[in-house]
Chain A
Amino acid sequence: EAGVVQSPRYKIIEKKQPVAFWCNPISGHNTLYWYLQNLGQGPELLIRYENEEAVDDSQLPKDRFSAERLKGVDSTLKIQPAELGDSAVYLCASSFQGDGELFFGEGSRLTVL
C-alpha cells in the first residue's frame, strides 16, 4: 500500500514569492492534516480536513496561507507571499478515523531567502 506522498521534497524561493505544496494521502483515509515543523520542535498543526471540510484551521495564518482539498482526496497548501520565517518542513499526514494515529509523508522542506 502506498504511503502519503508529498511534493516537492525541497523548495528554495526568494521572499515574497509564492509556493505550493501537494499531498496525496493514503487511499481510504478521510482525515488529512498539514503540519509545520521547525528544527528542534514538534509538528504544529496548520489545518485538518475531514473529507472536503476544513474542521480545524485555527492555526493557519490566513493572511498568507491557504489550503484546499478538492474531492476529499489530494490537498494543496499555498503560501503567498512567502516570508523568511516560513522556512520550515511542511508535513502532510492522513488517518483513517482522525483519532490521532497519523501516517506522515516525507515532508516538503522550504527555504525562503
Chain B
Amino acid sequence: QKEVEQNSGPLSVPEGAIASLNCTYSDRVSQSFFWYRQYSGKSPELIMSIYSNGDKEDGRFTAQLNKASQYVSLLIRDSQPSDSATYLCAVNMGSARQLTFGSGTQLTVLP
C-alpha cells in the first residue's frame, strides 16, 4: 500500500466547473500537507499548504484537511484551461518528516 494515494485520473472538467482532487495518507501522525502543481515537462510548484483540520482558501483554490479520516483534498473553483496539469499531494511523514508525494492526478480543463 502506497503511503500517499491519489486517483491517477485523468480527470476532465469543463471550463468554469469545480475540480475536486483527493488524497489519502497512511501516517496518522502527519502534521503537514501540501499540494503541488506540475505542468507537462516542468517541475512541481507549490500551490497550497495546510496544517490544521478544516478548509484553507487561496483565491480559486481551497484545501480541505480531515486528519481523523487521513484525507486531504483540493478544490479548484471556476476551472480554467490553464489549470490543466498534474496535481501532486505531498505529506510530511514519520519522525524524519520525509516529504512523500503521491503519484499525482492529471487534470484537464476543457474549453
Contact = CB atoms under 8 A, between A and B. Distances in A.
B103 A102 contact: no
B46 interface: yes
B49 A101 contact: yes
The A interface is mostly helix, strand or loop, or mixed, namely: loop
B21 to A, nearest CB: 13
Interface stretch (A12-20, A42-50, A65-73, A76-84): A42-50
A52 interface: no
Interface residues of B, number: 23
The B interface is mostly helix, strand or loop, or mixed, namely: strand
B32 A100 contact: yes
B97 interface: yes
Interface string A26-55: 000000010000001111110010000001
A103 B100 CA distance: 15
Nearest to A48: B98
Contacts, number: 54
Contacts of B100: 45
Given A43-B44, A55-B96, A107-B43, A100 B101 contact: no
Interface of B: 4, 8, 32, 34, 36, 42-46, 49, 88, 90, 92, 96-104
Given A91-B44, A104-B45, 13 more contacts: A41-B104, A43-B101, A45-B100, A48-B98, A56-B98, A99-B32, A99-B97, A100-B34, A101-B49, A102-B99, A104-B43, A106-B42, A106-B43
